[in-house]
Amino acid sequence: MSRYYTCLLYVALLLVAVPSTDAAIRQTKGDFEDRFRQLDEVLPTANSYRTAGGEPGHAYWQQKVSYEIDARLIENSRRIEASERITYTNNSPDTMRFLWLQLDQNRFRTDSMAELTQVFADSSRRGPKLEDRKEDKPPQISLDELRRQQFLADNETGYQIIDVRSGGSEMAHTIVGTLMRVDLSRPLGPGQAVEFTIEFAFNIVEEDAVSARSGYEHFPEDEREGGNDIFLLAQWFPRLHAYTDYEGWTNKEFLGRGEFTLEFGDYSVDITVPADHIVSSTGVLQNPADVLTRTQIKRLEQAEKADKPVFIVTPEEALDNEKEATKKTSTWRFKADNVRDFAWASSRKFIWDAQAYHQGGDVQPMVMAMSFYPREGEPLWSKYSTAAVIHTMKVYSRFSFDYPYPVAQSVNGPVGGMEYPMITFNGPRTDEQDDGERTYSQAEKRFLVGVVIHEVGHIYFPMTVNSDERQWTWMDEGLNSFLDAMAGLEWDPDIPWKVEPRDMVDYMKSEDQVPIMTQSDSVLRLGPNAYGKPAAALMILRETILGRELFDFAFREYSRRWRFKRPTPADFFRTMEEASGVDLDWFWRGWFYSTDHVDLSIDRIWKLRLDTKDPDIDFERRRQEEKDKPYSLIVERNRAERKLWIESNPEIRDFYDENDRFTVTNKERNEYRKFLQELEDWEVAALERALAEDKHYYVLEFSNHGGLVMPLILQLTYAEGDSEMMRIPAEIWRRNAKSVKKLIVTDRELTQVVIDPRWETADVDMENNHYPRRIIPSRIEAFKSPEREGLEQRDIMQDIKTELETPDKDEKKKE
Whose Cβ is closer to Zn ion: residue 348's or residue 446's?
446
Q: List the x/- string, 471-490, binding to Zn ion by CB under 5 A.
A: ------x-------------
Residue nearest to Zn ion (CB): 477
Q: List the x/- string, 652-671, binding to Zn ion by CB under 5 A.
A: --------------------
Residues 277-316 interacting with Zn ion (rule: CB under 5 A): none
CA–CA separation, 350 vs 681, rounded Å?
Answer: 89
Q: How far is the CB of 475 from Zn ion (least distance, A)?
A: 11
Q: List the x/- string, 147-176, binding to Zn ion by CB under 5 A.
A: ------------------------------
Residues 335-364 interacting with Zn ion (rule: CB under 5 A): none
Q: How far is the CB of 814 from Zn ion (least distance, A)?
A: 20
Would you call 210 exposed, middle or buried from its count of C-beta atoms within 10 A (0-12, 13-18, 19+)? buried
Q: How far is the CB of 282 from Zn ion (least distance, A)?
A: 17
Q: How far is the CB of 461 from Zn ion (least distance, A)?
A: 9
Selected range binding Zn ion among 51-59, 347-355, 469-477, 804-812, rule: CB under 5 A: 469-477
Number of residues that bind Zn ion (CB under 5 A): 1
Whose Cβ is closer to Zn ion: residue 477's or residue 571's?
477
Whose Cβ is closer to Zn ion: residue 54's or residue 414's?
414
**Cα distances (Å, whole numbers) of residue 492 to 208, 400, 449:** 31, 21, 10
Q: List the x/- string, 187-216, binding to Zn ion by CB under 5 A.
A: ------------------------------
β-pairing, 407-412 vs 423-426, is parallel
Selected range binding Zn ion among 56-64, 187-195, 243-251, 470-478, rule: CB under 5 A: 470-478
Whose Cβ is closer to Zn ion: residue 347's or residue 392's?
392
Q: How many Cβ atoms from other residues are within 10 Å of residue 536's Cβ?
A: 28
Whose Cβ is closer to Zn ion: residue 244's or residue 473's?
473
Whose Cβ is closer to Zn ion: residue 477's or residue 760's?
477
Whose Cβ is closer to Zn ion: residue 424's or residue 544's?
424
Whose Cβ is closer to Zn ion: residue 173's or residue 533's?
533
Whose Cβ is closer to Zn ion: residue 124's or residue 329's?
124
Contact 291, 332 (CB under 8 A): yes
Q: Extract the runs of DSSP E, i.e. beta strands, from 76-155.
A: 79-89, 96-102
DSSP assignment, residue 45?
P
Q: How far is the CB of 340 from Zn ion (least distance, A)?
A: 15
Longest dimension (CA), the chain: 130
Q: How far is the CB of 156 from Zn ion (least distance, A)?
A: 30
Q: How far is the CB of 122 from Zn ion (least distance, A)?
A: 20
β-pairing, 215-219 vs 228-233, is antiparallel
Distance of CA 410 to the CA centre of its chain: 22
Q: How far is the CB of 559 from Zn ion (least distance, A)?
A: 17
CA–CA separation, 445 vs 813, rounded Å?
Answer: 18
Walk across the sheet containing 600-608 and list its strands.
600-608, 696-704, 739-746
CA–CA separation, 548 vs 248, rounded Å?
Answer: 37
Pick the closest to residue 115 from 142, 141, 143, 148 (CA basis).
148
Q: How far is the CB of 480 from Zn ion (least distance, A)?
A: 6
**Cα distances (Å, whole numbers) of residue 559 to 519, 549, 555, 746:** 23, 15, 6, 44
Whose Cβ is closer to Zn ion: residue 477's or residue 618's?
477
3 state SS of 507? helix
Pick the closest to residue 61 from 70, 46, 49 (CA basis).
49
Q: How many Cβ atoms from other residues are within 10 Å of residue 645's Cβ?
A: 7
Q: How far is the CB of 443 from Zn ion (least distance, A)?
A: 19
Contact 13, 608 (CB under 8 A): yes
Which residues are at the interface with Zn ion (CB under 5 A)? 477
